[in-house]
Amino acid sequence: MQAVTEIEPLPDDLIAWVASQRAAGHSSDALRAALLQAGWEADMAQQALAAAGVSRPAPLPLTTAASASAAPGPDLRGTPLRIDAGDRRVAVLQTVALPRAVLFGDFLDDTECSALIELARPRLARSRTVSLGTDAEMVHDDRTSDGMFFMRGENPLVTRIEARIARLLNWPVENGEGLQILRYRPGAEYKAHYDYFDPADPGSGTILRRGGQRIATLVMYLHEPEGGGGTYFPEAGLDVLPRRGHALFFSYPDATPASKSLHGGAPVVAGEKWIAVKWLRQGRFD
């Protein structure tokens, strides 16, 4: 495939290739990424997907009383330097328009970071991803961390942090998945990906019936590696360093690549990186 810089008729072989790859089980997001990497402009990539019958269903309706326009996020009116998160005031260090992202300081203290690590350590296992074609989880080479999940409200520490998240991001506790703890050793990484689920993927219906779509992520940094391990957004040229106690929020309420929320965890060069991740859903997650 050759690079295209202006609107022109789509080659038949391009449409056939997209259709064959979709039939093989690849997601629309994966195909779009492949087309962009090959040099096709975003609008031509979208036309090729549409011509091959790869469409994205309308987003699921919200399953709570929140209005359809509601989305999680901090109240940044007045450009505050700190925000009341209930049991503490959290610093606002940086904001980004696209992707919609906010970097917070002083979200977790040293005691909380250490406690989460020690509670999670004996329960770690190789991290998994949701497999194409089903709602099952599988080990994938793109994700080489170790991890575990706390149930929502599993212990007083998790309950306190979840309440802080809900207050800071103005989103109900029950609309959040369980807190995930991840450890990245030297060489471990998570290649660029989207956190939302592609509704066009087989098996996504079962996932989306349980709380609706993911629409935002909060990454909390628990332990700093000696080198590497940043959270990067390749389309935005944004790289967030994993500073202990900081938290990175980003959202994608429309669940499309236009959110510029494609992101990854860069390989750890030395030491270990520990993070906690909270995914927020449209509705109640049970």
Q: What is the pLDDT of residues 236-278, one digit of tens each?
A: 999 999 999 999 999 999 889 999 999 999 999 999 999 999 9
Q: CB-side exposure of 141: number of CA atoms within 13 Å?
A: 0
Per-residue pLDDT tens over the stretch 98-109: 999 999 999 999
Cβ atoms 281, 60 nearer than 8 A: no
Indicate which CATH number applies to the domain containing 107: 2.60.120.620
pLDDT band at 30 (very low <50, low <70, confident <90, very high): low
**Two tokens at 148?**
């575990």
Domain identity same for 24 and 146: no
pLDDT at 201: 83
Q: What is the CA angle 179-181-187, rounded to 5?
A: 150
Q: Which one has a higher pLDDT value, 30 or 227?
A: 227
Task: Please state, rounded to an integer, the average pLDDT across all residues of the chain.
Answer: 84
Q: What angle do CA 148, 198, 241 make, to 5 degrees?
A: 50
Answer yes or no: is 66 within a domain: no
The parent domain of residue 231 ranges over 82-281
pLDDT of 134 > 50? The answer is no
pLDDT at residue 269, as a whole number: 97
Q: State whether 230 and 276 are in the same domain.
A: yes
Q: Is residue 271 part of a domain?
A: yes
- Range in 8-12, 128-132, 195-199 with the lowest mean pLDDT: 128-132
Residue 73 in domain: no
Most confident of 29-43, 118-132, 254-268: 254-268
Answer yes or no: do 23 and 117 share one domain.
no
Domain count, the chain: 2
- DSSP for 47-58, written as a single string: HHHHHTT---PP
